[in-house]
Amino acid sequence: MENQSNFIKTIMENDLENKKHTKIITRFPPEPNGFLHIGHARAIIQNFELAKHFGGTTNLRYDDTNPEKEEEKYVKAIKEDIKWLGYDPNHVFFASDYFGEMYKRAVILIKKGLAYVDFSTPEEINKQRGSFEVKGTNSPYRDTEVSKNLELFEDMKNGKFKEGECVLRAKIDMESPNMNMRDPILYRILFAYHHNTKDEWVIYPMYDFAHPIEDAIEGITHSLCSLEFEDHRPLYDWVVRETEMENVPRQIEFGRLGIEDTVMSKRYLLRLVESKLVRGWDDPRMPTLSGLRRRGYTPAAIKNFILSTGLSKVNSTVSADMLESSLRDDLNDKARRVMAVIDPIKVTITNYPEGKYEMIDVPFHPNNEDLGSRSIVFSKELYIDREDFVLEKPNKHYKRLALGIEVRLFNAYFIKANEVIYDKDGNIVEILATYDEETKSGSGFDARKPNGTIQFVSSLNAHPVTYNFFEPLIMDEDKSKDLLDRFNHNSWQTKEGFIEKTVAYLKVNEKLQLIRHGFFNIDEDSDKDHLVLNEIVPLKKSY
Ligand code: ATP
Ligand code: MG
């Protein structure tokens, strides 16, 4: 994976060879208006890995030029997520730290006759812009003289105009085939509180003006962004050139990553959070990095997933299976394997002496000795999974317990079910079984074969667990409906069961493989008397 080649790596290689740059400097520039999602992971991982590959560095830069939507809590969350993925930015910058410099650069444009203050209304500006078919028309303010523009821009900065009363526009080309070049807005007035600069500014730069200047100030060599900015590149280059920035960064676009049936845009994720349909940004069903972390995804699984999707010039949507199998690959040899019962039914071994129990030492993993071992308990009263028992064996493919049928209990004995006990509603509440003491696991007993092997937990060794199971947040296929109407109200299900007590001592976020079920994460809602386990992925896909 490390040596995977891609078109951006090739560009960087050439730039170093041709001595265009001596060092690669990249940046990840999130807007702090929400939590990061798995799509952002592509941008993060590619920026950091590419720079690292060439011995270069990567900055984290908050693109905080839109005070109305940005908040300190997002700044914090973004930093944590990047750290969790294993990356340490060379610098952490804020675009808002450059507001003074940006203002000066805007003044340079005005002095060169390349920017003007426009009092047209937003509707008028839109109309002047024209469309793909219709050429734009000049604003009546386009030829205001330089000295007047300088004065007006300063007045804008000093709060002499109302919000929306005027804007600063670049003077480029109203007939350009590229709409972005038709005198784009560079600054607008916003009487908004900014999380970083507080009340210092009432004018805020637009993304297309701010971003190239930010890159140039930091000496970014390759400014990687997603495909939707391709048409903005001529403007990016224009801004760097005309504001006379010393460093000239190069914008390179790559395809966005999507996952099938997964809503990824921050705007929608924010709606889900605000609607309270989910429990927050870190809800284990969310495709946010904090949601995936809480669910139990590991940084290694995410990184392998991202690298396996490659990097190309087109947007791509991959199946969620790919992410799930990255997790299985990562945890298969690393996670302790333990026995757990998700939907318990009691089994009483009628021929096992009252009060007796046996401790059986079992390794946590069949081929990873480093994980050590623990003791499990076999005793008269046990729990098995309800789905591992039926009254009558239905066919020869059925490899579980039934009346008159014998199975092996993992690491213990053969048991045979003889009788069931019902409650007054006719539900099976207990199975009466007998065990054969000759059949202990590891004894080499081979006189007969059991009808499969199932897991169990002794009531003496049973720790209570709430199991959380998840389905996709959005299930309804009808894309014409509003997202919130497509919400899958069955996307979070719980079960109350048991697990071996050994697990009770593990830490939050420890991952486990529950034998025959799947991979689970110890949720932070756990306490010492009661575990909460999130299913990360089942062993095999079940829906
Ligand atoms: P969204 O549209 O999902 O709300 P965004 O692009 O507005 O995300 P930013 O904070 O502006 O979010 O993104 C920071 C960086 O992450 C940008 O360079 C952007 O191109 C990149 N990025 C965001 N989403 C994806 C994605 N799905 N695939 C690849 N890169 C992405
Ligand atoms: Mg954005």
The string of DSSP codes covering 267-324 is HHHHHHHHHTSSSSTT-TTSSBHHHHHHHT--HHHHHHHHHHT---SS-EEE-HHHHH
Q: From ligand 1's centre to the CA of 263, what distance in Å?
A: 13
Strand 406-409 relative to strand 453-454, pairing: parallel
pLDDT of residue 2: 53
pTM of this structure: 0.94
Distance CA 470, CA 523 (A): 14
Residue 540's pLDDT band, with cuts at 50, 70 and 90, is: confident
- CATH no. for residue 430? 2.40.240.10
The residue-averaged pLDDT of 346-369 equals 97
The residue-averaged pLDDT of 184-195 equals 96
pLDDT of residue 466: 98
The domain boundary, picked from 236, 257, 278, lies at 257
Distances (CA, A) of 186 to 83, 138, 285, 517, 539: 33, 16, 39, 56, 53
Q: Is 61 in the pocket of ligand 1 (CB under 6 A)?
A: no
Distance CA 289, CA 228 (A): 22
pLDDT of residue 241: 98
Residue 113 is assigned to a structural domain of this protein? yes
Residue 46's pLDDT band, with cuts at 50, 70 and 90, is: very high
CA of 225, nearest ligand number:
1
Q: Is it the case that residue 434 has pLDDT exceeding 60?
A: yes
Residue 518 is assigned to a structural domain of this protein? yes
Distances (CA, A) of 312 to 8, 156, 159, 368, 379: 9, 42, 45, 37, 58
Residue 286 is assigned to a structural domain of this protein? no
pLDDT of residue 543: 34
Residue 209 is assigned to a structural domain of this protein? yes
pLDDT tens-digit readout, 456-471? 999 999 999 999 999 9
Paired tokens of 253: 């676009």
Q: Residue 354 belongs to what domain range?
A: 336-538
pLDDT of residue 1: 47
Query: Which of 192, 212, 210 is closest to 201 using CA atoms?
Result: 192
pLDDT tens-digit readout, 126-142? 999 999 999 999 999 99
Mutate to test the pocket of ligand 1, among 226, 228, 263, 311 (most ligand atoms within 8 A of CB): 226
Distance CA 129, CA 138 (A): 8
* Ligand 1 atom closest to Cα of residue 264: 3
Query: Which of 60, 56, 51 is closest to 8 using CA atoms?
Result: 51
Residue with the two structure tokens 């899958």:
488
Query: Which of 214, 281, 274, 219 is closest to 51 using CA atoms?
Result: 219
How many other C-beta atoms can be found within 10 angstroms of the C-beta atom of residue 34?
A: 23
* Ligand 1 atom closest to Cα of residue 267: 4
Residue 265 is assigned to a structural domain of this protein? no
Of 165-169, 261-265, 316-320, the one with minimum mean pLDDT is 261-265
Instruction: Examine the domain organization and report whether 253 and 340 are in the same domain.
Output: no
Average pLDDT, the chain: 96
Instruction: Examine the domain organization and report whether 383 and 502 are in the same domain.
Output: yes
The residue-averaged pLDDT of 386-409 equals 96
Q: Are 391 and 426 in contact (CB under 8 A)?
A: no
Q: Is 225 in the pocket of ligand 1 (CB under 6 A)?
A: yes
Residue 72 is assigned to a structural domain of this protein? yes
Instruction: Examine the domain organization and report whether 379 and 491 are in the same domain.
Output: yes
Residue 296 is assigned to a structural domain of this protein? no
Q: Is 131 in the pocket of ligand 1 (CB under 6 A)?
A: no
- The upper half-sphere exposure of residue 488, i.e. CA atoms within 13 Å in the direction of its Cβ, equals 18
pLDDT of residue 542: 41
- As a three-state string, the secondary structure of 486-520 is HECCCCEEEEEEEEEHHHHHCCCCCEEEECCCEEE
Instruction: Examine the domain organization and report whether 357 and 235 are in the same domain.
Output: no
pLDDT of residue 3: 56
pLDDT tens-digit readout, 94-136? 999 999 999 999 999 999 999 999 999 999 999 999 999 999 9
The domain boundary, picked from 257, 282, 305, lies at 257
Q: What are phi and psi of 413, to 5 degrees?
A: -115, 170
Residues marked active site are found at 31, 256, 266
**Alpha-helix residue ranges (DSSP H) falling in 346-445:** none
Mutate to test the pocket of ligand 1, among 35, 40, 288 (most ligand atoms within 8 A of CB): 40
Residue 39 is assigned to a structural domain of this protein? yes
Q: From ligand 1's centre to the CA of 274, what distance in Å?
A: 20
Instruction: Examine the domain organization and report whether 352 and 253 are in the same domain.
Output: no
pLDDT tens-digit readout, 145-166? 999 999 999 999 999 999 999 9
How many other C-beta atoms can be found within 10 angstroms of the C-beta atom of residue 388?
A: 21
Q: Is 266 in the pocket of ligand 1 (CB under 6 A)?
A: yes
CA of 253, nearest ligand number:
1
User: Using the 8-state DSSP alphabet, how is residue 69 labeled?
Assistant: T
Kindly state the greatest CA–CA separation across the chain. Answer: 102
Please state the domain count of the chain. 2
- CATH no. for residue 104? 3.40.50.620
Q: From ligand 2's centre to the CA of 339, what distance in Å?
A: 45
Instruction: Examine the domain organization and report whether 466 and 358 are in the same domain.
Output: yes
pLDDT of residue 146: 98
Q: From ligand 2's centre to the CA of 94, what distance in Å?
A: 15
Instruction: Examine the domain organization and report whether 129 and 33 are in the same domain.
Output: yes
Distance CA 58, CA 21 (A): 15
Q: Is 265 in the pocket of ligand 1 (CB under 6 A)?
A: yes
The domain boundary, picked from 202, 225, 257, lies at 257
Instruction: Examine the domain organization and report whether 165 and 74 are in the same domain.
Output: yes
Instruction: Examine the domain organization and report whether 250 and 376 are in the same domain.
Output: no
Q: Are 400 and 454 in contact (CB under 8 A)?
A: yes
Residue 483's pLDDT band, with cuts at 50, 70 and 90, is: confident
Residue 477's pLDDT band, with cuts at 50, 70 and 90, is: confident
Instruction: Examine the domain organization and report whether 239 and 360 are in the same domain.
Output: no
CA of 62, nearest ligand number:
1
pLDDT of residue 478: 82
Q: Is 42 in the pocket of ligand 1 (CB under 6 A)?
A: yes
